[in-house]
């Protein structure tokens, strides 16, 4: 069997460099390309020891761990212990995810059982090299997208609240997102406006009367006529410069282990889904969960 050691080292050098760069991007660290290059070089040198009597030593998990610590230290330095641990954990995470993703992709597309015949450096075909060079960025991109998605969902989950709305004898609960970017208020009374999906009113008013409120075509006998307010509002896809809002009897918000009860609030109707995944149906004005609004 012919082993192209220089090609194996070159491939590992490139992958190590991309892993360290990926760790910096994932953790939003400042990138020092000289240090990253040195760390990649140190990481790739281990390839040469795999073909010496020292291979057993370098295959030891403890040695691997401390070798990884050295790589991370060279690449990012040491500011404080937590900073170093975060860098090390990010490096391990990206390495495991990328390696596992490539391994899974290889077996997914593999039609033969002879794995060694397709490994770079072991007389493998150019397809194996192309697979690694193309597959690595794809797996990294996919992993980063998933991590960013999880972060967004975690932030949203922390900002979700249970909202109880009372209108006459009608009482219902829904989920709301506390959005610090929602600063919408009635310009005359300075009353906070909470956006809600219009569909929530269907059990009380029915679809037709709810749609009449959305299009501002309500008649004098509409049950909400005395509650309706018009609030200046502009949004993407919004044809009218106003938002139809109405005054409920009471709104109770359960957020972060506390209960906020208020009657000084307007509910603005929105004709589309606020969350494509259905995680929440209202957008809560932050003032409503900062202090008790009477």
Q: Tens digit of pLDDT for each residue in 25-79?
A: 878 888 899 999 999 999 888 888 877 888 888 888 899 899 999 999 999 999 8
- Domain that residue 143 falls in: 5-157
Mean pLDDT, residues 211-230? 82
What per-residue confidence (pLDDT) applies to 2?
60
Helix axes 5-27, 33-49, angle to 10 degrees: 140
Could you tell me which residues come within 8 angstroms of residue 283 by beta carbon, excluding any fewer than 6 positions away? 176, 177, 179, 182, 194, 195, 196, 274
Candidates 114, 159, 169, 179; catalytic one? 179
Mean pLDDT, residues 85-101? 83
Looking at the fold, whether 212 and 129 belong to one and the same domain comes out as no
Looking at the fold, whether 26 and 135 belong to one and the same domain comes out as yes
> Per the structure, how many domains does the chain have?
2
In a domain, 294, yes or no: no
Does the active-site annotation cover 159? no
Q: Which residues pair with 193 in a beta bridge?
A: 266
Looking at the fold, whether 220 and 85 belong to one and the same domain comes out as no
Distances in Å between the alpha carbon of 26 and those of 49, 154, 198? 30, 16, 39
Last residue of a domain, one of 90, 125, 157: 157
Looking at the fold, whether 113 and 87 belong to one and the same domain comes out as yes
Count CB neighbours of 192 within 10 A.
21
Q: Tens digit of pLDDT for each residue in 158-217?
A: 678 899 999 988 999 999 998 877 788 988 899 999 999 999 999 998 888 888 888 877
* pTM for the model: 0.51
Looking at the fold, whether 135 and 267 belong to one and the same domain comes out as no
How many whole angstroms separate alpha carbon 269 and alpha carbon 184? 13
The answer to whether 175 touches 282, Cβ cutoff 8 Å, is yes
What per-residue confidence (pLDDT) applies to 265?
94
In a domain, 182, yes or no: yes
């Amino acid at each position: 069997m012919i082993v192209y050691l220089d090609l194996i080292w070159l491939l590992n050098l490139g992958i190590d460099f991309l892993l360290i760069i990926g760790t910096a991007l994932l953790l939003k660290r400042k990138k020092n390309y000289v240090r990253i290059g040195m760390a990649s070089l140190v990481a790739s040198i281990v390839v040469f020891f795999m073909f010496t009597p020292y291979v057993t030593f370098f295959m030891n998990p403890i040695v691997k761990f401390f070798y990884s610590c050295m790589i991370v230290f060279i690449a990012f330095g040491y500011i404080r212990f937590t900073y170093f641990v975060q860098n090390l954990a990010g490096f391990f995470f990206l390495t495991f995810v990328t390696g596992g993703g490539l391994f899974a992709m290889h077996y997914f597309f593999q039609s033969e059982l002879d794995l060694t015949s397709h490994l770079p450096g072991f007389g493998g075909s150019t397809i194996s090299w192309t697979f690694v060079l193309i597959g690595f960025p794809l797996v990294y991109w996919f992993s980063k997208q998933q991590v960013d998605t999880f972060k967004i969902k975690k932030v949203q989950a922390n900002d979700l609240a249970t909202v109880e709305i009372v209108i006459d004898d009608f009482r219902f609960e829904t989920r709301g997102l506390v959005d610090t970017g929602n600063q919408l208020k009635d310009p005359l009374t300075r009353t906070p406006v909470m956006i809600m999906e219009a569909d929530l009113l269907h059990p009380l008013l029915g679809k037709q009367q709810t749609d009449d409120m959305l299009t501002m075509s309500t008649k004098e006998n509409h049950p909400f006529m005395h509650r309706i307010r018009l609030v200046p509002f502009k949004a993407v896809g919004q044809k009218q410069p106003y938002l139809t809002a109405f005054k409920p009897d009471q709104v109770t918000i359960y957020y972060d282990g506390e209960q906020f009860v208020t009657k000084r609030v307007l509910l603005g109707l929105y004709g589309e889904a606020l969350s494509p995944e259905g995680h929440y149906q209202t957008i809560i004005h932050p003032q409503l969960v900062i202090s008790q609004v009477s």
